[in-house]
Amino acid sequence: MSFESAMARLGGTSLSVGSIEACSIAKGETLADTVRVVSGYADAIVIRHPKEGAARLAAEFATVPVINAGDGAGQHPSQTLLDLYTIRQSMAIDKIDVALIGDLRYGRTAHSLASALSLYNARLHTLSPKGLELPVTLAAELCDKGMDIVEHDNINEIIRDVDVLYVTRIQRERFPDSASYFNVASNYRITPELLCGARSHLIILHPLPRIDEIDPRVDELPYARYFEQSRNGVPVRMAMLMEVMQ
């Protein structure tokens, strides 16, 4: 909806592939053929795909600009641009401390943001359930760029030392049963009580959707910026569309 809203505000229109079951993809059409066809219908393609690398593949066959709106557990670059924009509204990005909390293995928003922050000399703090840590290859790549990554075992170790708290959803499907999920998820929940002693300028971000990792009472605190972050997706994506279609 954010890309559709952005396109509408620019005075353009949006076309949707719609239900997969009702289009040629269900008949076995390849992604390469789909983007070739769609290139004849539109001036730009925004693609969200469950498989990592799908957007890059689409860009090889499309004859119009392709914007990656999320590819599996890979990257989500447009989300990162609006994340950076939201941070910049509150503070200078250079040399800040940012905590990534939640599913860091499959969370594509965390991957993209971490990569972007390496360009700003930021220090990265990570906290995730066992088995859902930041991918080893990504962590090694960030370290090679000179990024300082600090791993934590307890959320209380992070709160007082960071400028940005970036919370992500811990996905239930990664656990064998509901009991295991709730046992882990409860240890990563952000509450007003937990935020006592946090830096006065701390901001809390979340790519949404939120399940129960942030207590609704936090919404009323000055730290909460996730709905503002979501709104920022419209002007940022307007700028992206304008840039690629000039």
**Distance between CA atoms of residues 58 and 45, nearest Å:** 9
Q: Residue 214 gets which letter from DSSP?
A: B
* 82-120 confidence digits (pLDDT tens): 999 999 999 999 999 999 999 898 888 999 999 999 999
* 204-233 confidence digits (pLDDT tens): 999 999 988 999 999 999 999 999 999 999
Structure confidence at residue 25 (pLDDT): 64
Continuous segment of H or E residues that includes residue 127: strand 123-127
Task: Say yes or no to pLDDT of 121 above 90.
Answer: yes
CATH topology of domain 2-72: Rossmann fold (3.40.50)
Average pLDDT over residues 150-178: 85
CATH of 77-230, one of 3.40.640.10, 3.40.190.10, 3.40.50.1370, 3.40.50.2300: 3.40.50.1370
Structure confidence at residue 233 (pLDDT): 96
- Residue ranges of alpha helices (H) inside 62-215 are 77-88, 108-117, 136-144, 178-185
Are both 2-72 and 77-230 of the same fold?
Answer: yes
Roughly how many angstroms between the first and final C-alpha of the chain, as a whole number?
22
Domain ranges across the chain:
2-72, 77-230
Query: pTM for the whole thing?
Result: 0.88
**Distance between CA atoms of residues 238 and 27, nearest Å:** 33
* pLDDT tier, 134 (very low <50, low <70, confident <90, very high otherwise): very high
Q: Which residues pair with 59 in a beta bridge?
A: none
Measured over the CA atoms of residue 204, residue 107, residue 105 and residue 146, the dihedral's sign is negative
